[in-house]
A and B are shown apart, each in its own frame.
Chain A
Amino acid sequence: MRLVILDDYAQSSEWAAKYICNRIIQFNPSEDRYFTLGLPTGSTPYGCYQKLIQYHRSGDLSFKYVKTFNMDEYVGLPRSHPQSYHSYMWNNFFKHIDINPANAHILDGNADDLEEECQKYEEKIQEAGGIQLFVGGIGPDGHIAFNEPGSSLVSRTRVKTLAKDTIMANARFFDNDLSKVPTMALTVGVGTVMDAKEVLILITGAHKALALSRAIEEGVNHMWTVSAFQQHPTTTFVCDEDATLELRVKTVKYFKGTRTPDTMRDTVECLLQIHKTHVDRLGELP
């Protein structure tokens, strides 16, 4: 696991966006070889999407040969509802970039046969050659996508009932009226995300601190489903200072760069190193 700690939300959004941008460019996608990207929704990745749009507008990044697969969608919410994940993706991402609409996949929470819809989604991912990079966030209860506490760590795309915590967290988007919040959702499984070649998890804010600490400092546990990624070969957690508040000082120091032979190296140097190998194109700091 790599744990990248930035000062604040803006920096972590930018870091993550640069990472994704450079991954796509390094992959050099074409008509015969698309880059497949798994995508999240919510307030955490919003800043990251803004940056990706900026890179697209400046001509540095094209999504022409990118296929996307979103993690989840509510069941029973009209697609045109402003809180649906379709609306989120359209308004905050798709309408600003040059992706081919046929390559933007989101689960349909209004399908006649929900299980068939989930099955078909898994098949679409297979047909696309699997996911190169799955970007996700975590809930305050440590869930990834809608894999609520208790979800199988080898689960696949399926219908899930939302936990009370999640419904309460979402109420703010539905006029604070609990009765208006959807109670079920379609979601990729933990296993589905684990199949991705690489996973990037964004975690910002003090309210996520406990979940982060349970996810990376405790054991693999289906009550904190993000912990499953301890067993993925290539996972990067990107977070801001606030999200580290529940971590042990030792953990934070380790990932901030006291790992290198020269123990006097400070955080910036360490991060520059990570930048150079993973984020900067042509070795230049943008």
Chain B
Amino acid sequence: MPSNKSVSDAPITQFINCRILRDHHLQREDLWVREGRILDPEKLFFDEKGYADERVDCEGSIIAPGFIDVQINGGYGIDFSQPSNDVSSGISLVAQKILEHGVTSFCPTLVTSPPSVYHKVLPQVKVHGGGRHGAGVLGFHLEGPFISLEKKGAHPEQYLRTFSSGGKDDLMETYGGLDNVAMVTLAPELPNSQSAVRELCQRGITVSLGHSVANLSQAEEAVQAGASFITHLFNAMLPFHHRDPGIVGLLTSDQIPPGRMVYYGMIADGIHTNPAALRIAHRAHPSGLVLVTDAITAMGLPPGRHTLGQQVVEIQGLHAYVAGLTDVFLVLGTTTLCGSIATMDMCVRHFKQASGCSVEEALEGASLHPAQLLGISHKKGNLDYGSDADLVLLDDALNVKATYISGEEVWRRGA
């Protein structure tokens, strides 16, 4: 048919034979893409008298928005917290590999490190879009060092810090700069944390509460000052108590400012959280659930010993433990959990199975909710007209069949 498109001559791709996630439902609809964004086919038909140039037969697949991982420390032998002169290539390698898990955007995460590491690593990586080269980088997630000693988890004790200079100055002194930082995890009970929270929020950086012994009031104050996320709920915080629910209580707190929402990260790898606890959290606050992998350097690697920041960890199956300081401790060592080696698509499947939630909810936990958390849902995390065409094609069991970024195929199973 003769072309008559008036808005743009760019080729139009129509994904057919698919079910797309739109308006919180999987619908049998075609998906139209032009110039890397989702296109409104009705407008195309009536306004431009246009039609598709290319049709992609999805053979009945589910099309979901590409997954967004806001907490990933490394993988495939790469540890983002290891200071090196070429952090970019490590991040690029992981960015490429995670396309296989349906992840199209992520926040490379740095665990508690000395200032020298932040000063060296942060300037090397800028926020940038994804493509064939790999998933897009949304900015760093700095998990620490302003966290609680009692809840340091696998973080190295000697590099923990407090807001001794009042807050703002501590941030700049420790990190060196805050450009290209998307999120900071801190413990709000640390004195002067409020001013740090405000400073970060003012810069558009998401503030997350974690590795903390804060009680509910302290957590609520932090939320009122701008905090909006909880880092790996239940892990590295005080357990829920019926007279002081602690950070966990934020899920049902009535002190959240109107119009704001608290999101919470869950590592749904079957290990970090008992499925019953996962269900309690999900049922209490379903729209705030954000799936994260918290993947470490060993993700994607065979069992054995690997580094995580300044420490050494041991892999057995899907379990990764902090090894003792000497080489004598092999399999046993400690039993402190330290990140996971699950992949994002595994987390989506496991979350759906453990919580009994719908396919739509499981998919939104890995796409829509992280996008909303980071304030980028106007272009990512959904298949609305105008959003970036970052897509993941899945079969009914939610295994990844293909991944697209800006409408371009960047990974296909079996290719």
Chain A residues with a Cβ under 8 A of chain B:
64, 79-80, 86-87, 90, 94-95, 100-102, 104, 106
Contacts and interface: CB of A to CB of B under 8 A. Distances in A.
Interface in B37-53: 41-46, 48-51
Nearest to B44: A101
Contact of A94 (B1, B45, B48): B45
Interface string B177-203: 000000000000000000000000000
B277 to A, nearest CB: 42
Contacts of B45: 90, 94-95, 101, 104
B253 interface: no
A106 B43 CA distance: 14
B46 A79 contact: yes
Interface residues of B, number: 13
A101 B46 contact: yes
A80 B42 contact: yes
A40 B48 CA distance: 23
Query: Max chain B CB contacts within 10 Å: which of A101, A102, A104?
Result: A101
Contacts of A79: 46
Contacts of B42: 80, 86-87, 90, 95
B360 interface: no
Given A100-B51, A104-B45, 10 more contacts: A79-B46, A80-B43, A86-B46, A90-B45, A90-B46, A95-B41, A100-B1, A101-B4, A101-B48, A101-B50
B221 interface: no
Contacts of B41: 95
Interface string B80-94: 000000000000000
A94 B44 CA distance: 12
A106 B49 CA distance: 13
A102 B49 CA distance: 5
A101 B51 CA distance: 8
B408 interface: no
A55 to B, nearest CB: 18
Contacts of A104: 45
Contacts of A86: 42, 46
B30 interface: yes
A102 B4 contact: yes
A95 B46 contact: no
Ranked nearest first, the 9 interchain pairs of A and B with the lowest CB-CB distance are A101-B49, A102-B49, A101-B45, A90-B42, A100-B1, A102-B4, A86-B46, A101-B51, A94-B45
Contacts of B1: 64, 100
A90 B50 CA distance: 13
30 contacts: A64-B1, A79-B46, A80-B42, A80-B43, A86-B42, A86-B46, A87-B42, A90-B42, A90-B45, A90-B46, A94-B45, A95-B30, A95-B41, A95-B42, A95-B45, A100-B1, A100-B49, A100-B51, A101-B4, A101-B44, A101-B45, A101-B46, A101-B48, A101-B49, A101-B50, A101-B51, A102-B4, A102-B49, A104-B45, A106-B46
